[in-house]
Amino acid sequence: MKALKQIIQIVVEIVALVAVLSTLIPVVREQLEIAQRVGNRPSSQADAPSEFDALTSGMHYYMDGFLKHVGLPNRGGPPNKLYDDPSDVPGLELIYTHYPPGPNWLTGLAIMTFGPKQVPSYRLFPIGFSVAGLVLTYALIRNVVGAMLAAAAVIVLLQVPMTTAMMHGLFYHPYAITLVLVQMAFLFNQLEKTSRLSWRSLCLLAAISFMQGWLSFDWCFVVMFAPFAVVSCWRDSTRRWEMVRAASFCVFGFTCAHVLHFAQVWAFRSSFAHAFEDLFGAARFRMLGEGPKLVPENGTVVILQKYILTLFPSWSQASYFSWLMPAVGAILALILGALRRLTRGDSGETKIVVPAVISMAIGFGISLLWILAMKNHALEPGHWLFLPRHLIIFLFSCVLVSVVALSTLSRMSMALLARSQRFR
């Protein structure tokens, strides 16, 4: 009997892994085809203007090294003209200071690895990182709820455009999205297995948040507040406190990245006041705008309309998944609430209805924070196309709610079955 159970377990593990890979491989193939089709040009699907800057600054890193200009990216050259050969790069200097240089460093490293004029090869960096992150996400969830539910969670996430559309991008988008998935999966893994996070786990969270901060400022709310959207944290008072501790370390890691970047700008500008105005003036402009670019009174309404229309395109398969995920999570939670009455159970693990609603609501609220706080940046032409990426935290919280509900339903069903057999 024991041998049979082991065989069944092995079969389940293999089936689940094959299911994940069979869903992931076509996505990777499509991203590689896009990379080949785009060639040495920036990708319009993955934020072409930012890719222009990353490739130009990457070539300057290739020529001058990473220490020139205190590591800040040099975007020197006429706008929207790609320089991918050292002989083409002009001696112009345009040092960008408003964002940490993480994506530019990665592009420079890719050029050093593959050589100039190999842009399709550079895209192997973000694609490989995304694949590794998704596999790690699967492994982290699997260690808590089993292979089949973890496979289902990852397969559903792969249907969402935000997860896959920019995998080939050279700027921060694929790295940031992947790190958010890993961050939430890691939190879920740790808080389901133990009620207290170890210092090692908290430091790892801070490291992930630091990496996010070194990539950009755009993901600040998602990265720092991700712990609040993890459903497992709401099960008891101990886990609620752990959620606060985890968020504190996420804030610390993200802040450290920007403190380091501030030090970079200060060293480059040689003036604290100039560096302060450089960074915080940019943040103020993103929030309110200046002169003719002031945010209009109806700015929030306009952003939300574009946000929703971009996230839920008409007649798209992805739109059905986007709408269904929160609905499925809520329905499963309600079913659990009804079963609790049937089983006359009052255990903590079945009290999921309120935590599920709270988790999904918080995930949605966190997703909206960027566009509500940085209205001017969100209203810039083209920027709103990428705003739905922030909703990945909401959709992932819906997936986790569903996974926890299904896992609990499975345990309750087995308990009911065992009880019925005893009374026969």
What tens digit of pLDDT does each residue of 53-92 get?
888 889 889 888 888 888 999 887 655 556 555 555 556 6
On the question of pLDDT at 347 being above 70, the answer is no
d(CA 104, CA 320): 36
Q: Report pLDDT digits (tens) over 107-135.
A: 999 999 999 889 999 999 999 999 999 99
d(CA 318, CA 309): 13
More confident residue, 289 or 104: 104
More confident residue, 268 or 106: 106
Structure tokens at 64: 């001058």
DSSP state of 74: B
Residue 142: pLDDT band by 50, 70, 90 thresholds?
Answer: very high
Domain locations along the chain: 7-37+124-422, 39-122
Whether this prediction's pTM lies above 0.95 is answered by no
Residue 309: pLDDT band by 50, 70, 90 thresholds?
Answer: low
Residue 314: pLDDT band by 50, 70, 90 thresholds?
Answer: very low
On the question of pLDDT at 318 being above 50, the answer is no
Q: In the block, which residue shows the tokens 């024991």?
A: 2
**Residue in 55, 62, 61 with CA at minimum distance from that of residue 38:** 55
C-alpha dihedral (222, 228, 232, 234), degrees to nearest 10 = -160
Q: Report pLDDT digits (tens) over 383-413.
A: 655 556 788 888 888 888 888 877 777 777 6
What is the separation of C-alpha 263 from the centre of its chain, rounded to a whole number of angstroms?
A: 26
Report pLDDT for 315.
Answer: 39
Q: In the block, which residue shows the tokens 């960008």?
A: 96
State whether residue 95 is helix, strand or coil: strand
**Residue in 319, 325, 332 with CA at minimum distance from that of residue 396:** 325
Through-space distance between the first and last CA atoms of the chain, rounded to whole angstroms: 23
DSSP state of 312: S
d(CA 135, CA 17): 9
Report pLDDT for 317.
Answer: 42
